Structure 1
């Protein structure tokens, strides 16, 4: 029986909690900003008017200390037990609306708030609101004055102080270095973030601009802070103005000594070959002037620059010439380049036209020397004198032009070209042929193979009349037909 009663009591309490959650309406989370106002809304919903509200109470940290902040009683009115300097009050106190307003928020106002209604006959009903106080940070950035060296040191600092929640800081830079961030929680619940840029300082870094960017919930847009690095270093010196055309008799020549330094340069000193400059040279601070150039100023000029940290120097070798250099103007160089380009283009065009013309001229006919058809031009069928190379098996000893051959007792030596050699017995050989014709025989039929020897002057004249030179250097017959 007791167990059953406990179960019924548990069910009743659960139903009562649901009713509480349904009757008291609040905002679970409210955000406020330091120095501004926060509104904690709380309403009692009872459509049937079945419950009677006897008192409304606001408490802070109900789970621990349970501090009473504001009380409203329909018969006794409002009461604020805690000394809040008038910052906390009901907006329009009533048994249906217990909205609370907190002015000039402080970080200590952050916490959990409970809105509680005392009702009859159901008892107390409450709901809680979590108030989070946001603090807008104070952001700033600045360089750290350092001296050029070899060790890594802090060179710039970016700070976001007294903010809640903590800010995030990023850097935009064009120099090599490292970033170190430090987060500190302050006693009032705010946070301070320090971001440090560290690098090995050099003179080239002096005056370099970089930015740090702060992002935080209370900021409408990121806060961008520009920082200019500051590095102390000895002077960096260069000499300018030498045009490599100092010649004897030149009326004016000058050198300029330029120096970067932090702290700024204080003194400039000119030397020539390690000694004071000659009297013909005029020195005015960082400017050196030679009114009349002579061989006296042929040498090495040195400019020494000092500041509080030390001395920097630069050297320039000056060569005095006997005569002035003839310098081609830029306009002349450009014109020469244009003319040269045009001439090169014309040469390319001419070459292309020449080779095209030569190729077209060579396409007029075929010059195949292996096929020649001889004819008289009278329309009669012509024999086909096509050269067909013999196979190795068909070639005999006579196939070799340089073979030894005997003609009517006259021996042609081995290795001699038959077509180019001359026969000393050409007249005797011709007389024998005429005798054979008188006897009624065809010459050469009974005397073995005959050979035409073109070595005779008359044959050479006939051959020259029959041949014609070509453009490609070859020689062909006028009477032959090439296919």
Structure 2
């Protein structure tokens, strides 16, 4: 008999009888369709804030029939199954942790879960496992990291003014995860900083940064900013502060006139801590009848020459003291202020009258002198010469 033949495309090929069975098996394997590919899609890295509700996304891509979804936590020494789901059934929460978890899957391609109010203990590696038929099992791995927002505090401790750098301020980020980064902005003023950190048993870290500057009195009132941040822009906070802790003795003590009538003067100084003021009078006490002292002010209610004298203002704080003085002088009030014009007018009139009399008698004397000369030449009567002596006496009296 003739040998069997297999038609391939348009050719006929003879196959020896002893190879027939093996060849047919080979051909059958080539034409059996392969198993569809199964892939699990997850977010490989998830960062969640402590206390937030966190979703772990998991989805499968396959044409297989999904029979079960299983969630595990990687623990030592064995992984822990905490939730399973089978199509058509309710999710099974297998552990106390699993009791907290909500299954968000739809029984087909989705297998995501939600972990409410995440804690530091929830951090770890999670496995999302799909069991398919006929493909078997396929898993996706998720790394969950919990970050903790720090509690931020700025501290200003008193520092004495001086020429050398000192700790002006401290910025502390308490119990963050991961460790916080701290930087300073002093708006152009030279500065430096030092950092120390403390690791806590729960995995959080506290970081303390110290701001160093030269503590001059002029630094008071300037602004500085502490910037606290966590990696990957998870958290950022700016703390603005006014530098008010530079301490120095009172300086630039001065006295100024607030009001002239009645007299009201004020003493001022620059110092930190706040300055207190004391007024005193040299060689004499300040009585209530003369002036009223209120804090840094001195008020004279009356215009009186008794107020004439040297007054000293002393500015004091816990660091030191400084003083300045002012000499007050007032003319006599013998003439009432309202009669100054009349008094001056009377003096002027009196002066004019005296001047007029002097001029009158001088001219009169000059005329009599001329007449007397004529009399001597002409031997006038002696009684007229007696009158001339009388007028001389009057002028002498004047």
What is the alpha-carbon distance in structure 1 between the residues aligned to residue 92 and residue 98 of structure 2? 13
Q: From the CA coordinates, give the structure whose radius of gyration is larger.
A: 1
Among 62, 71, 92, the residue aligned to 1:79: 92
1:212 corresponding residue in structure 2? 226
Q: Does 1:46 align with 2:62?
A: yes
- What's the offset of the Cα at 1:153? 4.1
Unaligned segments of structure 1, at least 5 residues: 1-17, 244-249, 323-483
Output one character per residue of 1:41-92: Cα deviation in whole Å (capped at 9) or x when no partner: 2222223x3xx44432211237964232212244875323331273213113
Among 194, 198, 206, the residue aligned to 1:180: 194
1:466 corresponding residue in structure 2? none
Output one character per residue of 1:168-214: Cα deviation in whole Å (capped at 9) or x when no partner: 33323365543223344433333333222234545444454433233
Output one character per residue of 1:101-159: Cα deviation in whole Å (capped at 9) or x when no partner: 11111122222211112334443211112223233333232322344466654332222
- What's the offset of the Cα at 1:35? 1.5
Structure 1 residues 320 and 296: alpha-carbon distance in aligned structure 2, compared to 1, 3 A threshold: closer
Q: Contact 2:49 / 2:147 at 8 angstroms: preserved in 1?
A: yes
What is the alpha-carbon distance in structure 1 between the residues aligned to residue 255 and residue 215 of structure 2? 27
Q: Contact 1:70 / 1:79 at 8 angstroms: preserved in 2?
A: yes
Which has the larger strand fraction?
A: 2
2:173 corresponding residue in structure 1? 160
What is the alpha-carbon distance in structure 1 between the residues aligned to residue 162 and residue 292 of structure 2? 33
Structure 1 residues 42 and 252: alpha-carbon distance in aligned structure 2, compared to 1, 3 A threshold: closer
| Pairs within 5 Å for 1:78-117 | 78-84=91-97, 86-92=99-105, 94=107, 96-117=109-130
Output one character per residue of 1:315-348: Cα deviation in whole Å (capped at 9) or x when no partner: 35759799xxxxxxxxxxxxxxxxxxxxxxxxxx
What is the alpha-carbon distance in structure 1 between the residues aligned to residue 307 and residue 277 of structure 2? 28
| Pairs within 5 Å for 1:381-396 | none
| Pairs within 5 Å for 1:184-263 | 184-216=198-230, 217-219=233-235, 222-241=237-256, 255-263=265-273
Q: Does 1:314 align with 2:323?
A: yes
Aligned residues: CA RMSD: 4.0
Normalised by the size of structure 1, how large is the TM-score?
0.49
Q: Contact 1:205 / 1:230 at 8 angstroms: preserved in 2?
A: no
2:391 corresponding residue in structure 1? none
What is the alpha-carbon distance in structure 2 between the residues aligned to residue 90 and residue 134 of structure 1? 23
1:136 corresponding residue in structure 2? 149
SS in 1 for 2:121: helix
What is the alpha-carbon distance in structure 2 between the residues aligned to residue 310 and residue 159 of structure 1? 29
Q: Contact 2:126 / 2:143 at 8 angstroms: preserved in 1?
A: yes
Structure 1 residues 320 and 91: alpha-carbon distance in aligned structure 2, compared to 1, 3 A threshold: same
Q: Figure out how many residues of one structure are paired with residues of the other and give that number.
A: 289
What is the alpha-carbon distance in structure 2 between the residues aligned to residue 223 and residue 310 of structure 1? 33
